[in-house]
A and B are shown apart, each in its own frame.
Chain A
Amino acid sequence: MDKPIYILGISCYYHDSACVLIKDGEIIFAAQEERYTRKKQDDSFPNNAINEALSFAGITSESLSAVGFYEKPFTKFFDRILKTLFKVWPLGFMQYQYAMQDWMIKKLWIPHNIKKELNYKGDIFFIPHHESHAYSSFGVSGFDDATIVTVDGVGEWATATIGKGKHVMVSSVEPCHAASSFDRAQDDTSPVTILKEIHYPHSLGLLYSAITYYLGFKVNSAEYKVMGLAPYGEPKYLEKMRELIDVKEDGSFALNMKYFTFEHGLRMTGRKLESLLGRPRRKPESELEQFHKDIARSLQDLTEEVMMKIVKHAKNLAGSDNLCLAGGVSLNCVANGKILRSGLFKEVYIQPASGDAGGALGVALAIWYKKFNGSKLPRMDHAYFGDEYSDEEIEKTLNKEGLPFVKMSGDGLIDRVSTLMQGDNVIGWFQGRMEYGPRALGNRSIIADARNMDNWQKVNLKIKFRESFRPFAPTVLEERVSDYFDLDCPTPYMLLVADVHPAKREEIPAVTHVDGSARIQSINRDQNAKYYDLIKAFDKKTGCGVIINTSFNVRSEPIVRSPEDAINCFLNTHMDYLVLGNFLLSKIEMPEDRVLNKKDYLEKFDLD
């Protein structure tokens, strides 16, 4: 019998380091490094995640058939970064200093670093950044063919691409068990072909990041806050923003670089943008005024407009009725919802880790398809690929911590928690394998009753310690999606926004945003039986098939990974109950000296 093919994909050194391990084409482990180092969007080499992946598979690095890195470092440095520095000369001195030191110390030595860190001696492969994104979506979409659109800040040169995905029938061909020297990219059987691209500095992702910076939020981190702020505003600055970007009918665009400083400076924008919009940049953590909300709305409308034009043109070029989206901009679920509702495509697939963490999956899949002649994979319809803790391990941790708890049976737990959820209790829900990607989808979640409007502010201000304007997402039973929302398809990854039916908005006010929309996660029993059963039980008791689901963390903290992380978060916030596997902890029973040292706890995390 042939040895299994293990492929390890790695993304790191920019933001959101991650690793993905696939075995004979099946994803067996995927996680971001931030969950281990407790540093949000950590960019360091994902040593911890890789060790966990290998341990989960019960192998060592010697068993790896191939390792892949999610971009082409030499192209990025020698072509794009150096050329840009030459172009902007005599500006860009400080950026030059940072870039040269950073690249010379670590980023130019990626094969060396991988071999050293993993003690690995086999093949290492590299694919372009946007091709990683394309594979990360199409490779697990389950489509035979698809139009592929990837949009993000920047990879090597590309900032947006249009591609075509097509699986050639290779079912009669057995996968090669050694990486082939023949590269399928060089012939027409490669499943993904990039057809067109737009190059740096013209970038929709960087435009979004630049305005995020102008609004006083953290770049490469808080873009989602701008999206959440937008519904509070009016698109009053849309016309002014058109000065920032020239958009053609085919969706291609060019930034007006006189308003941006990211090519040569350490800041995203300068005085010219402030003059155009009429106000200086908002200081971080200062008060948000109506002006900032209007700016956020104008940017969001502009982004949606450009994305719609891009996908229309992409369909003309690639010709498929299925759409695969990837790249950081694909986390803009409002734009995604608009694309879905346009009816341009029969089906839209967005992989849950569609930002740079997903690059690790993309390169692993590219190696599977192109180097090992791998067969088409089924659709990835859940994201539970991370660490898991047994009840024995959880009980050991609880005993070590000396905290009182109740151990329950599976059915008893579901019944008890679904009762506790009614009203104003907020519950930390820690189960099974950790999610891959930026969203908590029911295994590392904070949950509460969506019918109680007060829960919105309670969770925002007393549990997550985050800005009061930020909305919460609902999880809804898949069979009840259309009862509550203007949507008739599953959305398991919380990556689509749709309107709540006007008649239902009063029923679930805690998850209805100010514009009547919601960022929806649907759930079925095959995806996550325990979480589904909980909501089903809640539905039976209350008639409401929707709950609040937000990530299990406080502001700026990575989502919890281990029972220890969950206990820390529980003890230092106003959360009422914690469920760890089959164990239930109640805040009122916790020893007084163990609760609410929140100041020390929060200081551990840099503000996002």
Chain B
Amino acid sequence: MHMPKPLQPFWKAWCSFSHVLGKVMSFIILSLFWLVCFSIYGLGLKIWNLKNLFKKPVSTYWIDPPKDAGMQYQF
């Protein structure tokens, strides 16, 4: 973007401020997401995982690899 020279310092300052603002907003939004979604799911998972307390010890920690979807996929 072309910016007249006298305005360039203001533009740079605005960019720096918007970067900080973005960080702060992301932090707030992510924190809310953590408190609401993660808390509900995390709590549910904790309860669900209580059954693992009664798991028998295993003789090996090697497990079979999961099936790969294929090289064209990111999963």
In the complex, identify which listed stretch (A54-62, A85-93, A235-243, A373-381) lies at the interface while the others stay far away: A85-93
What 1/0 flags go to A189-224 for Cβ under 8 Å of B? 000001111110010000000000000000000000
B38-67 near A? 1/0 per residue, CB < 8 Å = 110111011001000000000111111110
B34 surroundings in chain A (CB, below 8 A): 93, 96
Query: B26 interface residue, CB < 8 Å from A?
Result: yes
SS class of chain A's interface: helix, strand, loop or mixed? mixed
Q: Could you tell me if B73 and A194 are in contact, using CB atoms closer than 8 angstroms?
A: no
Select which of B42, B70, B74 is within 8 A of A110 by beta carbon: B74
Q: Which residues of A contact B27 (CB under 8 A)?
A: 97
Instruction: For A100, list chain B residues within 8 Å (CB).
Output: 26, 30
User: Is A405 interfacial (CB-CB < 8 Å)?
Assistant: no
Q: How large is the interface on A (under 10, 10 to 19, 20 to 34, 35 or more residues)?
A: 35 or more
CA gap between A101 and B39 in the complex, in Å: 19
In the complex, which residue of chain A has the Cβ closest to the Cβ of B23?
Answer: A101
Given A96-B30, A196-B63, A197-B65: A89 and B39 interface contact (C-beta under 8 Å)? yes
Minimum CB–CB distance from A517 to chain B (whole Å) comes to 31
B74 touches A72 (CB 8 A): yes
- Chain A residues contacting B39 (CB-CB under 8 Å) are 89-90
Judged by a CB distance under 8 angstroms, whether A11 is at the interface is no
Asked whether B45 lies within 8 Å of A250 as measured between CB atoms, the reply is no
Interchain CA distance A561-B63 in the complex, whole Å: 42
Tell me whether A72 and B75 are in contact (CB under 8 A): yes
Total B residues in contact with A, Cβ cutoff 8 Å: 28
Q: Closest CB of chain B to A436's CB: distance in Å?
A: 23
Q: Which residues on the B side are within 8 Å of A127 (C-beta)? A: 68, 71
Most buried by B among A86, A127, A246, A248: A86
**Interface pair B70/A183, CB less than 8 Å apart:** yes
A residues 152-182 touching B (CB-CB < 8 Å): 157-158, 161-162
* Chain B proximity of A403: nearest CB distance (Å): 38
A253 within 8 Å of B by Cβ? yes
Q: Which of A383-415 contact B (CB under 8 A)?
A: none
Chain A neighbourhood of B65, CB < 8 A: 128, 158, 161, 194-197
B45 to A185, Cβ gap below 8 A? no
* Residue contact A86 to B42, C-beta cutoff 8 Å: yes
In the complex the two chains form, is A75's CB within 8 Å of B63's CB? no
Identify which of A79, A313, A367 contacts B71 (C-beta below 8 A): A367
Cα distance A254–B63 when bound, in Å? 12
In the complex, the answer to whether B71 meets A126 with C-beta atoms within 8 Å is yes
Question: Smallest Cβ distance from B47 to chain A, in angstroms?
Answer: 12
Tell me, in angstroms, the Cα distance from A502 to B41 when the chains sit together. 63
Across the interface, A101 reaches (CB within 8 A) one of B30, B41, B68, namely B30
Whether B74 pairs with A86 at a CB distance below 8 angstroms is: no
**Is the pair A86, B41 in contact by a Cβ cutoff of 8 Å?**
yes
Chain B residues with Cβ below 8 Å from A161 are 65
A73 at the interface (CB under 8 A from B): yes
**B70, chain A: closest CB distance, angstroms:** 5
Does A252 interact with chain B (Cβ within 8 Å)? Answer: yes
Residue of B30, B45, B60, B71 touching A89 (CB-CB under 8 A)? B45
Q: Which residue of B lies closest to A183 (CB)?
A: B70
Rounded to whole Å, the gap between the CB of A551 and the closest CB of chain B is 35
Chain B residue numbers with a CB within 8 Å of A519 are none
- Report the 4 A-B pairs with minimum CB-CB distance, sorted nearest first: A89-B42, A252-B61, A74-B75, A196-B62
Could you list 28 examples of A-B contacts with CB < 8 Å?
Answer: A68-B71, A72-B73, A74-B73, A85-B42, A86-B41, A86-B42, A89-B39, A89-B42, A89-B46, A93-B31, A93-B34, A97-B30, A97-B31, A100-B30, A125-B71, A126-B72, A127-B71, A128-B65, A131-B68, A158-B65, A195-B65, A198-B61, A199-B63, A250-B62, A252-B60, A252-B62, A254-B61, A371-B71
